[in-house]
Amino acid sequence: MPPARKRPRAYDVSRTRTAVLAQFAHVRDAVRTLTPEQLGLPALGEWTVRELVAHMTTALERVSRAMELPAPGGGPRPETTLLEWPFSTARNAETIAGDSRDLAAARPGLDALYGETAARFAELVPSDAGDRLVATRAGTMRLGDFLVTRTVELVVHTDDLHRATGLVIPYDRQALAACTRLLADALADRAPGGSVEVRVPPFAVVQCIGGPKHTRGTPPNVVETDPLTWIRLATGRTRWAEALDAALVSASGERADLAPLLPLMG
């Protein structure tokens, strides 16, 4: 019998909404400082920095557009759960890339774009309707769950922007925590079990991978890393072997090898 999956973690909708707006504001402050030369730098894949920061506005705008539409039909259950979302993103990569290039070309005034996006989100997205279904690229989702995915989009791409430009951009603590926890829980959902404990202090501890279950004392198989390294591993920005070689990850025990499970998001 396969190991039982735990009940999904609960997130406070109001706090998540606040975190999304706070992280977006940090990015907007950084975007205001970008020079034309920096905007033309390579950022992620074939994207320039301009295309990356234009894309980041869609993290909020897709929620705003969904709230302008009637709630999708099909019953109260969403098509995509929060833990399924990380594994659904790769299939939309080509469409997202094209849309982001078009947006960057159509809206050269980035600060105005960020201002309009934040204002629409604040007006259209409530903090008390977490169970409302909304249409997303991954299928219908609960609004509360979709907001948690926005912390992943913003935190991951904030890190991409930092690595492309060298800008030091703050991370909202709640946004970083939600992003870290979702990706840790997705790992545990992909490989359920209790033989390996994965620690990402101060935000997440999960057990995963089938085998002898740890119940007390020091676990025999432990992986530990910091939130940003974990996020980079989970999204393929850093490879497992590279993180081990750089001492960014500690892994003890014969089962403490996450390489076959990573990245979680394409």
Give the residue with greater pLDDT, 110 vs 3: 110
Task: Please check whether the two domains, 13-175 and 191-261, share a CATH topology.
Answer: no
Q: How high does pLDDT run on average in the chain?
A: 92
Query: Span 102-119, mean pLDDT?
Result: 90
Which 8-state DSSP code applies to residue 239? -
Contact between 38 and 165 under an 8 Å Cβ cutoff? The reply is yes
Query: Span 8-33, mean pLDDT?
Result: 97
Residue 210 is predicted with a pLDDT of 87
Identify the CA nearest to 152 among candidates 130, 125, 182, 128: 182
Residue 95 is predicted with a pLDDT of 75
Q: Distance between CA 117 and CA 65 in Å, rounded?
A: 11
Q: Give the residue carrying structure tokens 């070309």.
A: 105
CATH of domain 191-261: 3.30.1050.40
pLDDT in tens, 185-196: 999 999 999 999
Give yes or no for residue 179 having a pLDDT over 60.
Answer: yes
pLDDT in tens, 246-256: 999 999 999 99
The percentage of residues in the chain with a pLDDT greater than 70, rounded to a whole number, is 94
Query: Which residues make Cβ contacts (< 8 Å) with residue 195, sequence separation at least 6?
Result: 207, 208, 209, 210, 211, 212, 213, 214, 220, 221, 255
pTM score above 0.85: yes
CATH of domain 13-175: 1.20.120.450
Going by pLDDT thresholds of 50, 70 and 90, the confidence category of residue 34 is: very high
Query: Span 226-242, mean pLDDT?
Result: 98
Give yes or no for residue 10 having a pLDDT over 70.
Answer: yes
Domain regions of the chain by residue span: 13-175, 191-261
